[in-house]
Amino acid sequence: MRIVLYAVWGAFMIGLVVSVVVQARKARRRKVALAVWPRTQAAVTGYDRKRRGVDNDGPLLYYPRYAYRGPDGQVYQGLSETVTYRKPPQSATLQVAVNPANPAESVPEGPTGMWAIGCASVVLGLIGIAMFWFIRMFPLP
């Protein structure tokens, strides 16, 4: 029985490490893009609405959609990963960094999320340690 508990703990820890690495690489790529790529103004054209929560009973979140003109003169569309709790006005503008090699790729200006990844890593790491301690102390026949 204890081996099953350790297997579940190991799967949790592997999932944690993979998730942190993937999110950290994504945030790093975003940070580099914001530092290097040229910026342009983008107009908010709409939004995607989603609810957070297990049964979609959480707060309503808005992900702004935007349009911008690339360096080649074409108009491109983008979807922001930055969430807001209020519906963005259609007349709003965003500052976006545009990939000069691929103008269809853009990153809206905003926080990179590294602090959130760090905090979540610490909390989930502590949960992993507590799980290991609990498995070790759990009385089994």
The set of residues, in sequence order, having a beta carbon less than 8 Å from that of 28 and lying 6+ positions away, is 112, 114
Answer yes or no: pTM beyond 0.95.
no
Neighbours of 69 (CB within 10 A): 15
Rounded Cα–Cα distance for residues 10 and 61 (Å): 33
Cβ proximity of 69 and 55 under 8 Å: no
| pLDDT tens readout for residues 112-121 | 677 888 888 8
Give the orientation angle of helix 114-137 with respect to helix 2-36, to 10 degrees.
Answer: 170
Rounded Cα–Cα distance for residues 54 and 81 (Å): 20
Query: At residue 53, does pLDDT exceed 70?
Result: no
